[in-house]
Structure 1
Amino acid sequence: MNQDRHERRCTAGEVFLVFLKLGLTSFGGPIAHLGYFRDEIVSRRRWIDETGYADLVALCQFLPGPASSQVGFALGLHRAGWLGALAAWCGFTLPSAIVLVLFALTAAAFNGPLAQGVLHGLKLVAVAVVAQAVWGMARTLTPDLQRAGIALVAIVIVVALAGSAGQVLAIAVGGLAGLWLCRGAAQKVDAAMMFPVTARAGMICLLIFTVLLLGLPVLATVSGHALDLFDAFFRAGALVFGGGHVVLPLLDAETVTTGWVSKDDFLAGYGATQAMPGPLFTFAAYLGAAGTLAPNDVPGALIALVAIFMPGMLLLVGALPFWDALRRRSWAQAGMRGANAAVVGILAAAFFDPVWRSAVLTPLDAVLALAGFVALVFGKAPPWLIVVAMALVGAGRGLLQL
């Protein structure tokens, strides 16, 4: 990030067009998104150098929230200030969010064997995709006995204590266990990260995050459903470590358990999300629109979408001035290793219930889900292709009443 001020700046409109292209074409999940960003922003446009981009990615992987969206937001902030940050978020997020809202608004019209078969096929997509996420994250985040043990403890916690409270406790226990079990020499980091955010601005954002996280649950108890909705999605966005798929159990606890969204609609929407480019967090727009209580439809989608992204962006801006010193400390690295291992356990528990139990109803369902998993993991098939295939198979089964 050694460019001069003139080289860093451009219009928010230019930023929007670049990220709109990415929002329309970036399939494959957060890791793939970061590859798209590097190709478009670092290699082609040279808005930031390799070292600066690597620093930014490291920060966003350290924080709760959607890592690829946070990287995009920060790149927009770096390039064109606050309007650029908003433009980057809108361009990358809105394409998939709009399609998912339309799906939510028209899903109620899906009646008959054909439509029900398609929706069941989308639920089987969720089985394959979540299984892939558990598989990949377990290999990366639980490579040793200590972290595998933390993941198992996390499973026990979330099974024993249902809802978001169990998930929060599991992550907290994982972080504390990491301080004890995952210690070691601090990993080497690259050069200092320079970013145009003052310490004062960072502290203000952290204060806003803290006030909302602690204050919204209190206000929601005495206010209407709109604030309750905002609180639920804000907390989900604030507590997600490990990537977009990990938000699944948190959103299930906040929407299905509370009765806002049916389990079938939840899984069908999650399956449809896999066919979308851009961030997986746009699933929140679907849930806000599909809710049974007002505000729903478009207003509910807007509330849920803004709420789930806001905490990650506040934490990102709040951390920017202080990240370089913190990331060099061995204790911080150890705590994150433990928290990430707990995330694997949380996602593994969610894979069984609600994903597997709600979608796999027959031996043929299990075979199809396994086929999707093999295609994703070993065949390297893009998720959207699995969505199309499962939807077509589901439609055929519906017509044949299989």
Structure 2
Amino acid sequence: MSDTLQADRSHWAVFLIFLRLGLTSFGGPVAHLAYFRDEFVVRRQWLSERSYADLVALCQFLPGPASSQVGIALGLSRLGYGGALVAWMGFTLPSAIALILFAQGLASYGDAVPTGVLHGLKVLAVAVVAQAVWGMARNACTDAPRMAIMAAATCFVLLLPSALGQVGVIGVAALIGLLLFKPQPGACHDSLPISIRRRAGLCWLALFLTLLLGLPLLATLFPGQMLSMLDAFYRSGSLVFGGGHVVLPLLEAQVVPSGWVDKDAFLAGYGVAQAVPGPLFTFAAYLGASMNQAPSGWVGGLICLVAIFAPAFLLVVGVLPFWQRLLRNSGTQAALLGINAAVVGLLLAALYQPVWMSAIRAPHDVGLALVALVALMFWKLPPWLVVLGSGGLGWLLDIALTG
């Protein structure tokens, strides 16, 4: 084991470890965290079981993609800032490149793709979001108060669909959690080998807030597509709790009403994103490559990819110096209970609008969505296989109904 630990002490080695995970980690954020545990706790022993559990809890509390944030923190603990960067690149680039290539192909040969295939991918999105709602509700809404928070969040977001409304719901849910819930104080925590000083952490957090507040101002003072894209995707990455699926309504609100991306292309890409390994936030690369205005293609995809992941990096390196005290705080734990329940409500609202309303047009669409849901939840089929099956069944149904 000592030879393995020594071999992991190079940036290239860390990049290759995370690249392999980025190529093979199917199944969403929960599955990614299981892959990480097997690789870094059991096999490589980079950290203890307790340290890993605490790190996961912290990253689930922060806005952004939890699994990517855990990967960034693991790279940071191994080789500092360079390790964090190569860990993120290795885990993220495979799915980002695949989705940009799909967007390029859809733009160049979209007319050659049967409409039934694209509609089948849109219907698949219904099954994927429904699965996420069910899985998260089982863990986050286990009593009457949290069920009430979930229902209220769903109703509010459906009545006032806006990014600001979603952020307000999360803030109110955190306050309700502080008032209602009394979690037990946590046990002792093992330290994670992070060498960042608290002063440096405060600087990273200040940069996060500066960009969050400054980019909208710059986009207003200097109108232009690139600044608007940076602002929209940075804000989406900064304000989403609950993982990749929850970013769907935020991104849809940014890119569809503005005319940047067509709604059909948005949902088709979201369906294909289920077939690729790695973090679902790489869906931003697809959207950037699909822009109806320049920059688009590879440049647009990379701009949106960096913009949506930048908050995750800044928050992780900013908060980690304070992580033990934060996780031991009962108020933080109580607020998190309320936030998690509200996140389920946001996801349930997204399941209705835009996913269901845009994809379900006839009874056979309900049947296709149900088959995809059963395949994912009960048959445990690989996501890429379900994507292929949904596209194929959508094509066959289109032929049968129109031919």
| Common topology (TM > 0.5) | yes
Deviation by residue 1:80-117 (Cα, 9 ceiling, x = unmatched): 222221111111100110010011111131225x5211
Larger mean Cα displacement after TM superposition, 369-378 or 91-100: 369-378
Partners in 2 of 1:47 and 1:190 — Cα distance?
Answer: 16
Matches within 5 A, 1:374-393: 374-393=374-393
Equivalent residue number for residue 24 of structure 1 = 23
User: What is the TM-score when the length of structure 2 is the normalising length?
Assistant: 0.95
Partners in 1 of 2:277 and 2:140 — Cα distance?
Answer: 25
Equivalent residue number for residue 104 of structure 1 = 103
Q: 1:19–1:393: structure 2 CA closer, same or farther, 3 Å change rule? A: same
RMSD: 1.7
Q: CA deviation at 1:401?
A: 4.4
1:370 paired with 2:370, answer yes
Q: Does the CA contact (< 8 Å) of 1:163 and 1:254 recur in 2?
A: no
Equivalent residue number for residue 313 of structure 1 = 313
Q: 1:76–1:194: structure 2 CA closer, same or farther, 3 Å change rule? A: closer
Q: 1:187–1:8: structure 2 CA closer, same or farther, 3 Å change rule? A: farther
Partners in 1 of 2:147 and 2:43 — Cα distance?
Answer: 40
Partners in 1 of 2:124 and 2:188 — Cα distance?
Answer: 38
Q: Does the CA contact (< 8 Å) of 1:234 and 1:309 recur in 2?
A: yes
Aligned length: 397
Structure 2 SS opposite 1:260? coil
1:212 paired with 2:200, answer no
Partners in 1 of 2:56 and 2:7 — Cα distance?
Answer: 18
Partners in 2 of 1:326 and 1:273 — Cα distance?
Answer: 34
Deviation by residue 1:339-365 (Cα, 9 ceiling, x = unmatched): 111111111011001000101111000
Structure 2 SS opposite 1:292? coil
Q: Does the CA contact (< 8 Å) of 1:55 and 1:193 recur in 2?
A: no
Matches within 5 A, 1:119-268: 119-188=118-187, 190-223=189-222, 224-268=224-268
Q: CA deviation at 1:191?
A: 3.1
Q: CA deviation at 1:242?
A: 1.2
Partners in 2 of 1:240 and 1:68 — Cα distance?
Answer: 14
* Matching residue's letter, 2:378: F
**Moved beyond 4 Å, runs of 4+:** 6-9
* Matching residue's letter, 1:324: Q
Larger mean Cα displacement after TM superposition, 362-371 or 51-60: 51-60
Listed as ranges, the gaps of 5+ residues in structure 1 are: none
Structure 2 SS opposite 1:46? coil
Q: Does the CA contact (< 8 Å) of 2:7 and 2:13 recur in 1?
A: no
Q: Does the CA contact (< 8 Å) of 1:118 and 1:395 recur in 2?
A: yes
User: Percent same amino acid at aligned positions?
Assistant: 56
Q: Does the CA contact (< 8 Å) of 2:51 and 2:189 recur in 1?
A: no
Partners in 1 of 2:151 and 2:41 — Cα distance?
Answer: 40
User: What is the TM-score when the length of structure 1 is the normalising length?
Assistant: 0.95
Q: CA deviation at 1:304?
A: 0.6
Q: CA deviation at 1:8?
A: 9.9
Listed as ranges, the gaps of 5+ residues in structure 2 are: none
Q: Does the CA contact (< 8 Å) of 1:290 and 1:297 recur in 2?
A: yes
Q: CA deviation at 1:400?
A: 3.5
Matches within 5 A, 1:289-304: 289-304=289-304
* Matching residue's letter, 1:371: V
Q: 1:59–1:317: structure 2 CA closer, same or farther, 3 Å change rule? A: same
Partners in 2 of 1:8 and 1:186 — Cα distance?
Answer: 39
Deviation by residue 1:184-224 (Cα, 9 ceiling, x = unmatched): 43343533444221111111110000101111111111221
Q: CA deviation at 1:300?
A: 1.0
* Matching residue's letter, 1:214: L
Equivalent residue number for residue 91 of structure 1 = 90
Equivalent residue number for residue 328 of structure 1 = 328
Partners in 2 of 1:31 and 1:310 — Cα distance?
Answer: 21
Q: Does the CA contact (< 8 Å) of 1:157 and 1:169 recur in 2?
A: no
Partners in 2 of 1:258 and 1:178 — Cα distance?
Answer: 35
Deviation by residue 1:138-191 (Cα, 9 ceiling, x = unmatched): 111111111111111112221222221111111111111111122343343533
Larger mean Cα displacement after TM superposition, 189-198 or 218-227: 189-198
Partners in 2 of 1:398 and 1:98 — Cα distance?
Answer: 30
Deviation by residue 1:283-307 (Cα, 9 ceiling, x = unmatched): 0000011111211111111111001
Deviation by residue 1:312-339 (Cα, 9 ceiling, x = unmatched): 1111111111110111111111111111
Q: CA deviation at 1:44?
A: 2.1
* Matching residue's letter, 1:247: V
Q: Does the CA contact (< 8 Å) of 2:8 and 2:14 recur in 1?
A: no
Partners in 2 of 1:189 and 1:62 — Cα distance?
Answer: 19
Structure 1 SS opposite 2:221? coil
Partners in 2 of 1:67 and 1:143 — Cα distance?
Answer: 21
Equivalent residue number for residue 275 of structure 2 = 275
